[in-house]
Amino acid sequence: MAAEGHACEICGRPAPEVDGWAARIPGYRLVRAPWRSGDRWFVDGPLHFSCLRELPDPGEFSREFTAMATGSHEPFEVEIGGAREVLARNGLDYRTEIFSGELCRIFRHGTMNRWLVVEHSGPWYGLDQSQLKEIAAGRPVRSAGGETVFVMPEDPGDDIYHWGLGDLLGHLGVLDRYPALIDQPDLAYEFFEYYPPKRVLAYFLVNTVPLPEEAVAFLRDYAARYEPVRYPEDH
Ligand SMILES: [Zn+2]
Protein backbone atom coordinates (compact mmCIF):
# COMPACT_ATOMS: atom_id res chain seq x y z
CA MET A 1 0.00 0.00 0.00
CA ALA A 2 1.13 3.50 -0.75
CA ALA A 3 0.46 6.59 1.35
CA GLU A 4 -2.61 8.55 0.28
CA GLY A 5 -1.73 11.15 -2.32
CA HIS A 6 1.52 9.29 -3.12
CA ALA A 7 0.03 6.28 -4.93
CA CYS A 8 -0.15 6.05 -8.69
CA GLU A 9 -3.67 6.96 -9.79
CA ILE A 10 -3.66 3.97 -12.16
CA CYS A 11 -1.92 1.06 -10.42
CA GLY A 12 -2.15 2.21 -6.80
CA ARG A 13 1.53 1.53 -6.10
CA PRO A 14 3.97 4.12 -4.67
CA ALA A 15 4.84 6.82 -7.20
CA PRO A 16 7.72 9.13 -6.25
CA GLU A 17 7.83 11.98 -8.76
CA VAL A 18 10.66 11.88 -11.30
CA ASP A 19 10.76 14.15 -14.37
CA GLY A 20 9.99 11.96 -17.36
CA TRP A 21 8.82 8.92 -15.31
CA ALA A 22 6.13 10.03 -12.86
CA ALA A 23 4.31 13.32 -12.34
CA ARG A 24 1.42 14.67 -10.34
CA ILE A 25 -1.84 16.26 -11.48
CA PRO A 26 -3.75 18.01 -8.69
CA GLY A 27 -7.50 17.42 -8.56
CA TYR A 28 -8.38 21.08 -9.15
CA ARG A 29 -7.05 20.80 -12.72
CA LEU A 30 -10.12 18.67 -13.48
CA VAL A 31 -8.36 16.16 -15.74
CA ARG A 32 -10.73 13.25 -16.15
CA ALA A 33 -9.38 9.74 -15.47
CA PRO A 34 -10.83 7.76 -18.40
CA TRP A 35 -9.73 4.42 -16.91
CA ARG A 36 -11.92 4.89 -13.85
CA SER A 37 -15.62 4.73 -13.25
CA GLY A 38 -17.45 5.59 -10.06
CA ASP A 39 -17.35 8.82 -8.10
CA ARG A 40 -13.65 9.74 -8.45
CA TRP A 41 -13.79 11.38 -11.84
CA PHE A 42 -10.61 13.37 -11.83
CA VAL A 43 -6.95 12.55 -11.45
CA ASP A 44 -5.72 13.82 -8.09
CA GLY A 45 -2.22 12.58 -7.47
CA PRO A 46 0.82 11.11 -9.20
CA LEU A 47 0.89 8.88 -12.28
CA HIS A 48 3.59 6.50 -13.44
CA PHE A 49 4.22 7.30 -17.09
CA SER A 50 4.76 3.57 -17.68
CA CYS A 51 1.20 2.98 -16.43
CA LEU A 52 -0.12 5.65 -18.81
CA ARG A 53 1.58 3.93 -21.74
CA GLU A 54 -0.03 0.60 -20.78
CA LEU A 55 -3.60 1.93 -20.70
CA PRO A 56 -5.91 0.23 -23.25
CA ASP A 57 -6.44 3.65 -24.88
CA PRO A 58 -3.60 5.99 -23.84
CA GLY A 59 -4.73 8.55 -26.43
CA GLU A 60 -7.91 9.15 -24.48
CA PHE A 61 -5.99 10.39 -21.45
CA SER A 62 -3.59 12.35 -23.63
CA ARG A 63 -6.51 14.23 -25.19
CA GLU A 64 -7.99 14.98 -21.74
CA PHE A 65 -4.65 16.22 -20.44
CA THR A 66 -3.97 18.29 -23.57
CA ALA A 67 -7.38 19.96 -23.36
CA MET A 68 -6.53 21.13 -19.82
CA ALA A 69 -2.91 22.04 -20.54
CA THR A 70 -3.74 24.17 -23.57
CA GLY A 71 -6.68 25.93 -21.93
CA SER A 72 -6.65 28.98 -19.70
CA HIS A 73 -9.75 29.93 -17.71
CA GLU A 74 -12.69 28.28 -19.37
CA PRO A 75 -15.94 26.80 -18.21
CA PHE A 76 -15.63 23.05 -18.43
CA GLU A 77 -18.63 20.85 -19.04
CA VAL A 78 -18.62 17.37 -17.57
CA GLU A 79 -21.13 14.61 -17.01
CA ILE A 80 -21.22 13.51 -13.39
CA GLY A 81 -23.60 10.77 -12.30
CA GLY A 82 -25.69 11.19 -15.43
CA ALA A 83 -26.12 14.96 -14.96
CA ARG A 84 -24.27 17.62 -16.93
CA GLU A 85 -22.44 20.15 -14.82
CA VAL A 86 -20.37 23.17 -15.74
CA LEU A 87 -17.23 23.62 -13.66
CA ALA A 88 -14.61 26.36 -13.82
CA ARG A 89 -11.21 25.06 -14.85
CA ASN A 90 -7.83 26.77 -14.80
CA GLY A 91 -5.67 25.29 -17.52
CA LEU A 92 -1.90 25.60 -17.90
CA ASP A 93 -2.15 28.10 -20.78
CA TYR A 94 0.12 26.29 -23.25
CA ARG A 95 -2.06 27.77 -25.93
CA THR A 96 0.05 27.66 -29.12
CA GLU A 97 0.80 24.38 -30.85
CA ILE A 98 4.18 24.51 -32.57
CA PHE A 99 4.67 20.87 -33.51
CA SER A 100 2.58 17.77 -34.15
CA GLY A 101 4.36 14.53 -34.95
CA GLU A 102 3.98 10.78 -34.90
CA LEU A 103 4.73 10.49 -31.20
CA CYS A 104 4.01 13.84 -29.62
CA ARG A 105 2.76 17.41 -29.81
CA ILE A 106 4.58 20.50 -28.54
CA PHE A 107 2.95 23.67 -27.21
CA ARG A 108 4.30 27.10 -26.27
CA HIS A 109 3.05 28.89 -23.19
CA GLY A 110 0.84 31.94 -23.67
CA THR A 111 2.79 34.36 -21.47
CA MET A 112 6.09 32.71 -20.53
CA ASN A 113 9.12 31.28 -22.30
CA ARG A 114 8.03 27.75 -21.54
CA TRP A 115 7.08 24.70 -23.61
CA LEU A 116 5.18 21.49 -23.07
CA VAL A 117 5.79 18.22 -24.89
CA VAL A 118 2.84 15.79 -24.70
CA GLU A 119 3.26 12.25 -26.01
CA HIS A 120 0.22 10.71 -27.69
CA SER A 121 0.72 7.80 -25.26
CA GLY A 122 0.25 10.05 -22.22
CA PRO A 123 3.58 11.23 -20.73
CA TRP A 124 4.39 14.93 -20.74
CA TYR A 125 7.47 17.10 -20.20
CA GLY A 126 7.69 20.80 -19.32
CA LEU A 127 10.66 22.76 -20.63
CA ASP A 128 12.04 26.17 -19.71
CA GLN A 129 14.34 28.39 -21.71
CA SER A 130 17.57 27.08 -20.21
CA GLN A 131 16.55 23.56 -21.15
CA LEU A 132 15.69 24.72 -24.68
CA LYS A 133 19.22 26.14 -24.91
CA GLU A 134 20.63 22.75 -23.91
CA ILE A 135 18.69 21.15 -26.75
CA ALA A 136 19.94 23.80 -29.17
CA ALA A 137 23.51 23.00 -28.08
CA GLY A 138 22.93 19.30 -28.78
CA ARG A 139 23.06 18.31 -25.12
CA PRO A 140 20.55 16.08 -23.31
CA VAL A 141 17.89 17.85 -21.29
CA ARG A 142 18.45 17.62 -17.55
CA SER A 143 15.62 17.91 -15.05
CA ALA A 144 15.35 21.07 -12.98
CA GLY A 145 16.29 19.16 -9.83
CA GLY A 146 14.14 20.84 -7.21
CA GLU A 147 13.25 19.30 -3.86
CA THR A 148 10.82 16.38 -4.12
CA VAL A 149 8.75 15.21 -1.18
CA PHE A 150 7.45 11.67 -0.88
CA VAL A 151 5.56 10.00 1.95
CA MET A 152 6.81 6.47 2.61
CA PRO A 153 4.12 3.76 2.97
CA GLU A 154 5.81 2.57 6.16
CA ASP A 155 8.84 3.59 8.18
CA PRO A 156 11.89 2.06 6.44
CA GLY A 157 14.16 2.61 9.45
CA ASP A 158 17.64 4.08 9.28
CA ASP A 159 18.51 2.47 5.94
CA ILE A 160 16.81 5.31 4.11
CA TYR A 161 19.63 7.69 5.03
CA HIS A 162 22.05 5.67 2.91
CA TRP A 163 19.87 4.73 -0.03
CA GLY A 164 20.36 5.76 -3.63
CA LEU A 165 17.39 6.14 -5.95
CA GLY A 166 17.56 2.49 -7.05
CA ASP A 167 17.44 1.36 -3.40
CA LEU A 168 14.44 3.57 -2.76
CA LEU A 169 12.49 2.37 -5.80
CA GLY A 170 13.49 -1.23 -5.09
CA HIS A 171 12.31 -0.97 -1.48
CA LEU A 172 9.00 0.44 -2.70
CA GLY A 173 8.68 -2.43 -5.19
CA VAL A 174 8.27 -0.13 -8.19
CA LEU A 175 11.57 -0.39 -10.09
CA ASP A 176 9.61 -1.83 -13.03
CA ARG A 177 7.54 1.40 -13.22
CA TYR A 178 10.71 3.45 -13.90
CA PRO A 179 12.28 1.58 -16.84
CA ALA A 180 15.86 2.59 -17.71
CA LEU A 181 15.90 5.38 -15.14
CA ILE A 182 18.46 4.03 -12.71
CA ASP A 183 20.73 2.93 -15.57
CA GLN A 184 21.41 6.59 -16.39
CA PRO A 185 25.12 7.14 -15.78
CA ASP A 186 24.65 10.77 -14.80
CA LEU A 187 21.79 10.28 -12.37
CA ALA A 188 22.27 12.56 -9.35
CA TYR A 189 20.15 11.57 -6.35
CA GLU A 190 20.75 13.35 -3.09
CA PHE A 191 19.00 12.46 0.12
CA PHE A 192 17.90 15.64 1.87
CA GLU A 193 15.93 14.68 4.98
CA TYR A 194 13.56 12.17 6.47
CA TYR A 195 10.96 12.91 9.13
CA PRO A 196 9.96 9.59 10.77
CA PRO A 197 6.77 10.71 12.60
CA LYS A 198 5.12 11.48 9.27
CA ARG A 199 7.35 9.21 7.14
CA VAL A 200 8.18 12.17 4.90
CA LEU A 201 11.23 11.80 2.66
CA ALA A 202 12.71 14.80 0.83
CA TYR A 203 15.31 14.40 -1.89
CA PHE A 204 16.92 16.16 -4.81
CA LEU A 205 17.17 14.39 -8.13
CA VAL A 206 18.68 15.47 -11.42
CA ASN A 207 18.17 13.07 -14.31
CA THR A 208 18.15 13.16 -18.07
CA VAL A 209 14.64 13.72 -19.39
CA PRO A 210 13.66 11.08 -22.01
CA LEU A 211 12.19 13.40 -24.64
CA PRO A 212 11.00 11.71 -27.84
CA GLU A 213 13.67 11.96 -30.54
CA GLU A 214 11.31 13.78 -32.92
CA ALA A 215 10.71 16.45 -30.24
CA VAL A 216 14.44 16.94 -29.77
CA ALA A 217 14.98 17.20 -33.53
CA PHE A 218 12.23 19.80 -33.90
CA LEU A 219 13.22 21.84 -30.84
CA ARG A 220 16.88 21.97 -31.86
CA ASP A 221 15.88 23.71 -35.06
CA TYR A 222 13.16 25.77 -33.37
CA ALA A 223 15.51 27.01 -30.62
CA ALA A 224 17.95 28.36 -33.19
CA ARG A 225 15.33 30.76 -34.55
CA TYR A 226 13.31 31.40 -31.40
CA GLU A 227 13.37 34.96 -30.11
CA PRO A 228 12.65 34.88 -26.37
CA VAL A 229 9.73 37.08 -25.41
CA ARG A 230 10.43 39.51 -22.60
CA TYR A 231 7.49 39.79 -20.27
CA PRO A 232 7.02 42.32 -17.49
CA GLU A 233 7.81 39.69 -14.85
CA ASP A 234 11.19 38.88 -16.45
CA HIS A 235 14.27 40.29 -14.75
ZN1 LIG B 1 1.30 3.12 -11.75
CA–centroid distance, 35 to ligand 1, in Å, is 12
Confidence of residue 40 (pLDDT cuts 50, 70, 90): confident
Domain assignment of residue 156, given as a range: 147-206
Any domain includes 133: no
Does some domain include residue 167? yes
Taking 90 as the threshold, does the pLDDT of residue 123 lie above it?
A: yes
Residue 171 lies in a domain: yes
For residue 7, report the distance from its CA to the centre of ligand 1, in Å. 8
pLDDT given at position 229 = 78
DSSP calls for 61-75: HHHHHHHHHT--EEE
List, for residues 132-182, the tens digit of each pLDDT value.
999 999 999 999 888 999 999 999 999 999 999 999 999 999 999 999 999
Distance 53 CA to ligand 1 centre (A): 10
Assigned domain for 1 exists: no
Q: Where are the alpha helices (DSSP H) in the chain?
A: 49-53, 58-69, 129-136, 165-172, 213-225
Domain assignment present for residue 169? The answer is yes
- Under a CB-based contact definition with an 8 Å cutoff, are residues 45 and 6 in contact? yes
For residue 15, tell me if it sits in a domain: no
Q: Tell me the CA–centroid distance for residue 146 and ligand 1, in Å.
A: 22
Task: Tell me the C-alpha distance between 214 and 99, whole Å.
Answer: 10
pLDDT at 235 over 60: no
Distance 225 CA to ligand 1 centre (A): 38
Mean pLDDT of 212-217: 98
Share of the chain above pLDDT 90, in %: 80
Interface confidence, given as ipTM, is 1.00
Is 181 inside a domain boundary? yes
Number of domains in the chain: 1
- 232 CA from centroid of ligand 1 (Å): 40
Residue 48 resides in a domain:
no
Question: Who surrounds ion ligand 1 at CB < 5 A?
Answer: 8, 10-11, 48, 51
